[in-house]
Amino acid sequence: MEYRFSEQQQMLKQALHSLLKKEMPIEAFSEVAEKKDGFSQCAWKKLAENGWLGVLAKGKWQTLEDVCPLDLMYLSESVGEKLFPGPYSLVAGFIVPLLSQLKLTNKQQELLEMVISGEKLITSALPKLEKSQNKVGFNWPGINILNEENGKIQLTGEIRHIQFLQHTEVILVPFKNNVGGISAVLINTRNDGINIIPEQSADLSKPQGTLVLDGVWIDNDDFIGGPDSNHQELFNEQLTGYLICLNGEMIGGANEVLNRTVNYVKERKQFGVPVGSFQAVKHMIADLHIAIEKARSYSVYVASQTGKSSNETLLNAISSRLFTTDIYKKVCEDAIQLHGGMGFTWEESIHYWYKASIYQQSHITHPAIMTEYILQNLLLESEYSKEFQYNQYE
């Protein structure tokens, strides 16, 4: 397919890129990542004040017309280039569009408005793509309802790897309810019985933690649509959009690493000439550029197919994520090699993007699980499926 970004898309990206370039140069990022636990409240507020958190909002919160996940994927490239220390794709690409399409109480609507304005930071637990009983699928967070009395519900459970958990005030927790549907609850981190355990993260711009609910009492009104509601279709749709946004972050990060590498090999001299003039180096640079464009084209194609069935769209999103994570890591590894001994130092800062690529490979799932999920779905209706029972070996 042939696709060109529109003038409006390019103007939006340029505006966001200019803001991030001003607010988050590499020196500022290093300060936040290494000394402020990966989050800048000031920079996050600047994003919100300029309307970037509500790009995909629906209903009365919608500010832009005809905006879709493809637009946010394109914008997210700038976030990946600057390694913005905040949950931009999670909030703008998943939480805000999800909440803006649900039937919220007045209190929940006020919360959404504060999230979009940057007054409150919100994060979300996410399903994990895992293998269970010889089948790969999404497992939603395990939350148990202990008691119900006087309009309150007591919850228990543990959820790992929640982004920016240490910095947030509210957590969106989707979970599988007693009737098999996917319900959602908004939990204030200041509630009694909530323990937050910080975790180590490969990506310094993506701090994460474990949420432990130890008999936490939640008001019935904190559940979106009630504790037995089912929002699975909408969650699947927004999860696809989130994965597409992450592709944009990775493509932008890979492109920034390549640009830094090109500038370095132009300046670094060996035998009296720039090392970029050597044929072997030229070939590596060209291959990396082609790989990035392949990843971008694949992601654009997947984003343009979001009108199809949710299962097919999610499969396409997982396929493009597998391809893009591999390309991102490959670009960073080759960039380190092209920088020679400097590539292993912190002076060139390539290690920040390399760590981000490592983080993305294990976020939500693992490359091996994604591969199995793709094969499982592609072979499901195949006439050869009985012959290739790859996940049922005895």
pLDDT tens column, 36-78: 888 999 999 999 999 999 999 999 999 888 888 889 999 999 9
pLDDT at 383: 44
pLDDT at 307: 66
Indicate if 259 and 359 belong to the same structural domain.
yes
Q: Is the pLDDT of residue 235 over 90?
A: yes
- DSSP SS3 for 234: helix
pLDDT at 2: 61
Indicate if 38 and 77 belong to the same structural domain.
yes
Indicate if 312 and 364 belong to the same structural domain.
yes
- The candidate with the shortest Cα–Cα distance to 189, out of 120, 130, 275, is 120
Indicate if 22 and 134 belong to the same structural domain.
no
Indicate if 136 and 71 belong to the same structural domain.
no
336 in a domain, yes or no? yes
Instruction: Give the mean pLDDT of 224-232.
Output: 91
> Of 121, 141, 156, which residue constitutes the final position of a domain?
121
**pLDDT above 70 coverage of the chain, percent:** 95
Q: Is the pLDDT of residue 233 over 70?
A: yes
391 in a domain, yes or no? no
pLDDT at 381: 56
The whole domain housing 281 covers 232-379
**Between residues 228 and 4, the one the model is more confident about:** 228
384 in a domain, yes or no? no
33 in a domain, yes or no? yes
Q: What mean pLDDT value characterizes the chain?
A: 90
72 in a domain, yes or no? yes
DSSP per-residue string spanning 254-317: HHHHHHHHHHHHHH-EETTEEGGGSHHHHHHHHHHHHHHHHHHHHHHHHHHTTTS-HHHHHHHH
pLDDT at 309: 72
pLDDT at 387: 47
Reported as a pLDDT band with limits 50, 70 and 90, residue 232 is: very high
Indicate if 164 and 107 belong to the same structural domain.
no
pLDDT at 385: 46
Parallel, antiparallel or unpaired: strands 122-124 and 170-176: parallel
pLDDT at 7: 85
Indicate if 109 and 201 belong to the same structural domain.
no
pLDDT at 390: 44
CA distance 350 to 341: 12
Indicate if 64 and 132 belong to the same structural domain.
no
First to last CA, the chain: 43
Tens digit of each residue's pLDDT (9 = 90 or more) over 115-129 = 999 999 999 999 999
Indicate if 375 and 238 belong to the same structural domain.
yes
Q: Is the pLDDT of residue 384 over 70?
A: no
Indicate if 246 and 358 belong to the same structural domain.
yes
Q: Is the pLDDT of residue 345 over 80?
A: no
Count of structural domains, the chain: 3
CA distance 200 to 66: 39
Reported as a pLDDT band with limits 50, 70 and 90, residue 391 is: very low
202 in a domain, yes or no? yes
172 in a domain, yes or no? yes
CA distance 266 to 273: 9
- The candidate with the shortest Cα–Cα distance to 247, out of 372, 163, 106, 363, is 363
Indicate if 265 and 342 belong to the same structural domain.
yes
197 in a domain, yes or no? yes
**Between residues 158 and 383, the one the model is more confident about:** 158
- DSSP SS3 for 187: strand
pLDDT at 197: 96
Q: What is the CATH number of the domain that holds 137?
A: 2.40.110.10
Q: Is the pLDDT of residue 271 over 90?
A: no
Indicate if 213 and 280 belong to the same structural domain.
no
Instruction: Give the mean pLDDT of 318-340.
Output: 95
